Amino acid sequence: MTPLARQEDPSQRLLVSSLEAILENLTEAVTVADGMGRVILRNRAAREMLGIAPRDDGSVEPGFQVILRYPDGSAVPRDEYPIARALRGEPVHGLELFVERPGGSTLVVQFSGSVLRDGDSPTLIVMTYRDVTEARRAAEQKHDYLRATSHDLRNPLSTLLAQAQVLEMETRRKGLRDENKAAQLILKSGRRMDAMLNDFIESMKFDVGLWSMRPRATDLSKLLLEVAGRYRSSADCERVSLHLTSGECWAMVDPHQVERCLENILSNAFQHSPPESRVEVSLDVIGGFAEIAVKDRGTGIDPKHLPRIFDRFYRGGSGHSRGLGLGLYIVKLITEAHGGNVSVVSEPGKGSTFILTLPLRQASQAGS
């Protein structure tokens, strides 16, 4: 009898044996772990993919530890392995990691899993994985082309921005008001072009499968203070109103990607609001989720545009039609990849409130 279940009832033993035989012969790679996160079964496809050789007696050690790495080669911490994440209740769907096989070869594997529960307690974790090495290689070739194109576009743009900044400083120093306004306009337009190029590259990376996250325990209160602090040290310092929940607010997120979301939404809020109006930023904890809200008193969004405001390349009416229509699309990608969501409440002439909802970090239990 395998470790999947040990039932005394002969009919139950027959059912379990049949299920195990089905799992063993599936072409899909499957691993099953118990409610403590300990691996109790890997089918043939999983063993072959992971390079797990049977022992002399033909059996396989279920608890064999797989070595997982991030794309940059750094080791994935044990409490961030797919089974451990699923055990904490975090979504595991299409998670791509590098698997280091015993012979030294490496595969790019896409993990997806689900948890079977008895009430609130997990009883089994079923994890499936798919070898996407060849697909990743093809995506990297596309990315090489994208990177070369991006480099060719960035070089002249960087020169333009540097020279425009010098021009703006010099005309301001010499008191040339009309020339300074022209220099500011060039600089502002160049920065918008740079932002649009960044958004375009990020969306293309997602399309070719090279958009990845590096989640780690992050204090959202501290992150929000840092992002808002950059605005407070700028000309908009008097416009930011910050309201944080008391104490720390820990979540398992990629801080750089969440920061990108916040920067995008805050930038929109300032861009579409009257110069002297305030932008309110708040962080609250509701159930097992952190809720970040950014409220402006700008032009608002027409109700007919709200259902599509997060669509790719969608540029609705009002002031929100600038750019390529990728900024909010990328915000949606990032929040959903974290198992959260983004929404907006808006009324024309009264402003908009964008709300990011992210799952909080749960206590780590076990996993391998």
Helix axes 177-207, 133-173, angle to 10 degrees: 170
Residue-wise pLDDT for 127-175, tens only, equals: 998 998 888 787 777 767 777 777 777 788 888 888 888 998 999 899 9
User: What is the maximum alpha-carbon separation in the chain?
Assistant: 94
Residue-wise pLDDT for 258-311, tens only, equals: 998 888 888 888 877 777 778 888 899 888 889 999 988 888 888 887 777 887
Give me the percent of the chain exceeding a pLDDT of 90. 10
Cα torsion angle, 47, 48, 53, 55, sign:
positive
Name the residue ranges covered by the structural domains of the chain: 10-131, 136-207, 216-359
For residue 235, pLDDT over 60 is answered with no
Domains 10-131 and 216-359 share a fold: no
Q: How confident is the model at residue 357, as a pLDDT?
A: 92
> 202: number of CA atoms within 13 Å, CB side?
22
Q: 137 has which bridge partners?
A: none
Place of tokens 């409130």: 353
Average pLDDT, whole number, for the chain? 79
| Domain 216-359, CATH number (from 3.90.1150.10, 2.60.40.1120, 3.40.50.720, 3.30.565.10) | 3.30.565.10
Residue-wise pLDDT for 327-345, tens only, equals: 788 888 889 888 899 999 8
Contacts of 37 (CB under 8 A, 6+ apart): 83, 84, 87, 125, 365, 366, 367, 368
- Conformational region of residue 349, where left means phi above 0, alpha means psi within -120 to 50, and beta covers everything else: left
Q: How confident is the model at residue 293, as a pLDDT?
A: 92
Distance CA 64, CA 75 (A): 17
Residue 323 pLDDT level (bands cut at 50, 70, 90): low
Distance CA 271, CA 236 (A): 11
How many Å separate Cα 37 from the centre of its chain?
Answer: 24
- The CATH code that applies to domain 10-131 is 3.30.450.20
Nearest to 299 by CA among 277, 332, 281: 277
- Conformational region of residue 89, where left means phi above 0, alpha means psi within -120 to 50, and beta covers everything else: left
Residue-wise pLDDT for 18-68, tens only, equals: 777 888 888 889 998 888 888 888 888 988 888 877 655 445 555 566 789
Q: How confident is the model at residue 365, as a pLDDT?
A: 31
Nearest to 290 by CA among 344, 231, 247: 247
Give me the percent of the chain exceeding a pLDDT of 70. 82
Q: How confident is the model at residue 361, as a pLDDT?
A: 66
Q: How confident is the model at residue 363, as a pLDDT?
A: 35
Residue-wise pLDDT for 184-210, tens only, equals: 888 888 877 777 777 777 776 676 666
